[in-house]
Amino acid sequence: MNAFKAIPDTGNAAIQQAWAELADEAKRLQDTHLAEMFSADPERFKRLNVKHGPMLLDYSKQRLDNSALAKLGSLADACDLKEWIERLFSAEPINCTENRAAMHWALRVPADTALQDPAPGVFSSVQSQLEKMGGMVRKIHNGQWRGMTGEVITDVVNIGVGGSDLGPLMVSRALNDSTLIRDKPLGIHFASSMDGSQLAQLLKLLKPQNTLFIVSSKSFTTVDTLYNANTAKVWLERSLGGGDELMHCHFIGVSSAQQKMNDWGIHPENQLQIWDWVGGRYSLWSCIGLPVALRIGMIGFNQLLAGAHLMDNHFRSAPWQNNIPVLMALIGIWNTNCLNINAQAILPYDGRLEKLPAYLEQLEMESNGKSVTRDGQMVQTHTCPVLWGEVGPNAQHAFYQLLHQGTEVVTCDFIAPALRYHEAMHNSDSEELVRQHELALANCLAQSRLLALGEDALKGEGELPDYKRYRGNQPSSTILLKELSPFSLGAMIAAYEHKVFAQSVIWGINPFDQWGVEMGKKIATETLGVIRNEAKPEYPLDSSTNGLIDFIKNQ
Ligand SMILES: O=P(O)(O)OC[C@H]1O[C@H](O)[C@H](O)[C@@H](O)[C@@H]1O
């Protein structure tokens, strides 16, 4: 189906022209099956893949060709993408509704950079917080950070939610078997959910005298985090007693709100600062990444930053034809706006990336799930698609049925490292594990092939009954990393961040705010008063809410 019911009227002739040309391209390609595209052009992969650093992006299984891509490039030019990229890499407050810059890229600029500071003191304050964090990491790794009773800290719990949870959680899981941490067994745990589920489980297993909590919250006002932190504090106080020493030995705070950390009792020496110019979902590169640094050490953390910095430079300098984040963005625009595909599955073929789908759900949907432009107009195009995902091999046994034979068109990102377990050749189990990795890779390639080509993928199957048929033509991109390392992961995450930014420029929206999550928090506070019989609602409640509250109170 052609997505172009009407060409968006943006009031800009060049942009409108580019959309009109894209509408023609979509019409030209709408009935061409991916199987035909592959058989018509044996060089298709060569034409439609790009490599940079440790990363390869194969977009040959997307339903476009070089001519459609050229029109997408014209749209990016008409939307001044190049100029916007330069504005991102400056201190300009491009987060217009909050009047803030979006300088997460500054967090990964190396100490010895020749780059000019976007504003006085940005690079030096980033380095000084990294140094402070490095000092804490060393102290904890060396067993010098002691609990109140003088015992060594064996377990660290990160209390945070959203960007203060998902980034550190995803990266520490992904790099869990990094060789850098072999000698440093330290339990690193995460508690995010406001109902206390994760924390309750952890508190059963951990010992107060050996446990250190990181209270991680950019705003230090998020109730989910504050309730969990309070529960942790009371748990410690019950066994160790309260006071300054307890706070000094058992809590680190990471926030942009220094006064609020003081008020909550975080010792000044244990406070790590972030800045209002780091969005929560872009903050894993800052001291919010402390759990990652604890997992992989500061050398590893710096490699993560270096990988992201490599992608920053690439995004800033490469022409769009070879620019991985821009191409990822243009492919997304093509699928969403030209082919009317509004669902995207994230499918890592590596169990270490199990949290990547959740991380990208926040990054993409919280950034670009918007319907008002920077100028305050309603958008005239679809914006962010619905994203979801799962470790690919497991999802094969769960929802791939819908991908293969359902009625929805879904674009997929297949993600895998080419090499795995190779560094462990001396281990007796490594040969079997290498075989398991090969099995996962084979499945990754086979699934994307079958989704794209349909039955053409396996010629010679003969006539199939309808219920066994594979229509194919489901588009996908494949991202291969040389191996999953701090460096390659940093590069890949930064590529997704910049993809999101490039799309926001084309859609004309601000990707750095999240006003849509605010009102729910206010209403919840009011509802809590009603559930606790402490307050009457300001407005009469609807019958559904009343009925549910009655049920709760009657139990
Ligand atoms: O880090 P915090 O200030 O506690 O915020 C945690 C999260 O909560 C908010 O509601 C936002 O939707 C997220 O973008 C943010 O990452």
Q: Which of 45-49, 124-128, 333-337, 465-469 has the lowest mean pLDDT?
A: 465-469
- Are 439 and 348 part of one and the same domain? yes
The question of whether 361 is a catalytic residue gets the answer: no
- Are 350 and 420 part of one and the same domain? yes
- Are 334 and 382 part of one and the same domain? yes
Supply the pLDDT for residue 182.
Answer: 47
**pLDDT tens-place string over residues 105-130:** 999 999 999 999 999 999 999 999 99
- Are 152 and 200 part of one and the same domain? yes
Please compute the mean of the pLDDT values over residues 464-486 and round it to a whole number.
95
Q: How many whole angstroms from 46 Cα to the centroid of ligand 1?
A: 42
- Are 396 and 476 part of one and the same domain? yes
**pLDDT tens-place string over residues 340-391:** 999 999 999 999 999 999 999 999 999 999 999 999 999 999 999 999 999 9
Smallest CA separation from ligand 1 atom 8, residue: 162
Please compute the mean of the pLDDT values over residues 518-532 and round it to a whole number.
92
- Asked if residues 188 and 158 have their Cβ atoms less than 8 Å apart, the reply is yes
Tell me: pLDDT of 179 over 70: no
Supply the pLDDT for residue 422.
Answer: 77
Question: Does 137 fall in a domain?
Answer: yes
Q: How many whole angstroms from 61 Cα to the centroid of ligand 1?
A: 36
Which two three-digit tokens encode residue 499?
């993809």
**pLDDT tens-place string over residues 487-501:** 999 999 999 999 999
CA distance 248 to 239: 16
Tell me: pLDDT of 183 over 60: no
Dihedral angle, C-alpha 216, 222, 227, 233, nearest 10 °: 30
E strand segments, 323-364: 343-348
Tell me: pLDDT of 1 over 50: no
**Bridge partners, 476 (sequence order):** 412
- Are 147 and 223 part of one and the same domain? yes
Q: Nearest CA to 284 among 454, 160, 177? A: 160
Q: Which of 158, 256, 261, 517 to mutate to test the pocket of ligand 1 (most atoms within 8 A of CB)?
A: 517
Number of domains the chain contains = 3
Q: Looking at 454-511, list the stretches that DSSP marks H as alpha helix, in order from N- to C-terminal side.
A: 486-507
The question of whether 151 is a catalytic residue gets the answer: no
Supply the pLDDT for residue 99.
Answer: 98
Question: Does 268 fall in a domain?
Answer: yes
Given the cut 0.90, state whether the ipTM is greater than it.
Answer: yes
- Are 533 and 501 part of one and the same domain? no
CA distance 78 to 73: 9
Amino acid at 239: S
Regarding pTM above 0.90, the answer is yes
Question: Does 83 fall in a domain?
Answer: no
Q: Ligand 1 in contact with 517 (CB < 6 A)?
A: yes
Q: Which atom number of ligand 1 is nearest to the Cα of residue 521?
A: 10
532: containing domain: 515-553
Instruction: Read off the pLDDT band of 425 (50, 70, 90).
Output: low
CA 467 to chain centre: 37
CA distance 474 to 62: 8
Tell me: pLDDT of 430 over 90: no
CATH number at residue 343: 3.40.50.10490
- Are 53 and 113 part of one and the same domain? no
Instruction: Read off the pLDDT band of 464 (50, 70, 90).
Output: confident
Q: Ligand 1 in contact with 225 (CB < 6 A)?
A: yes
- Asked if residues 541 and 549 have their Cβ atoms less than 8 Å apart, the reply is yes
**pLDDT tens-place string over residues 47-64:** 999 999 999 999 999 999
Smallest CA separation from ligand 1 atom 2, residue: 217
Parallel, antiparallel, or unpaired: how do β-strands 211-216 and 411-419 relate? unpaired
